[in-house]
Amino acid sequence: MGYIGPMELRVDCYVDPACPFAWATSRWLTDVAEQREDVTLTLRQMSLATLNADVIARGEMDPSMAHHMDTSRTGGRLLASVDPSHFAEMYAALGRRVHLEHLDITADVARDALTECGLDPGQAAAIDDPTLDERVEAAHAHAVRIYCESSGTPIVAIDGRAFFGPVITEIPTGTAATELFDAVVVLAHSSAFAQMQRPRSGPPTLTKG
């Protein structure tokens, strides 16, 4: 039996374009929202580059992590440049290129993603526009306020109850997706629940099951 509660569930998922775990969680929740009329999903922006700004400024990251932060910064600017009504489709178009095709966010990649979404390919210039960083930082600050402390991504809020994760190592679909969602909803609505974690290793598998 699924979760018995409010007739409608409002789900907000805060994502960074560089994070494969955020991508996995967002694809799972997107699948759930497509299956369930009682679920309204909104994807929102947060920023690992903003979260790690002090470490980046000190130059203390290894090359792999520094590249990850570059993806966060350029992708974050591009997402911040589009109207919020196009955020989800733009995040999906960009995410497929970053996480499935393993492409860097260049101007050409940005133009292709924008064109796919029916948006002005000229907005690709956003990836090199530092004036957009203020929007990215504001979006990240909102995510921090929702969660009540600094955190990585994904952050998920169900009916305003926010938590880090769930971090998933593969993308469930169909019945498996809704069963996991119902379990998470029960935890989200429990005032007693705080944290649960088990060991994991390596990046998630990003092809749907």
pLDDT tens track, the chain, 209 positions: 444 555 789 999 999 999 999 999 999 999 999 999 999 999 999 999 999 999 888 888 899 999 999 999 999 999 999 999 999 999 999 999 999 999 999 999 999 999 999 999 999 999 999 999 999 999 999 999 999 989 899 999 999 999 999 999 999 999 999 999 999 999 999 989 888 888 877 788 887 65
CA angle 55, 48, 89 (to 5 degrees): 160
What pLDDT score was predicted for residue 208? Answer: 66
Q: Which residues contact 49 (CB under 8 A, 6 or more apart)?
A: 16, 18, 56, 69, 72, 73, 76, 136
Torsion of CA 138, 144, 149, 155, to 10 degrees: -150
DSSP state of 8: S
CA distance 191 to 194: 8
Task: Record the pTM.
Answer: 0.92
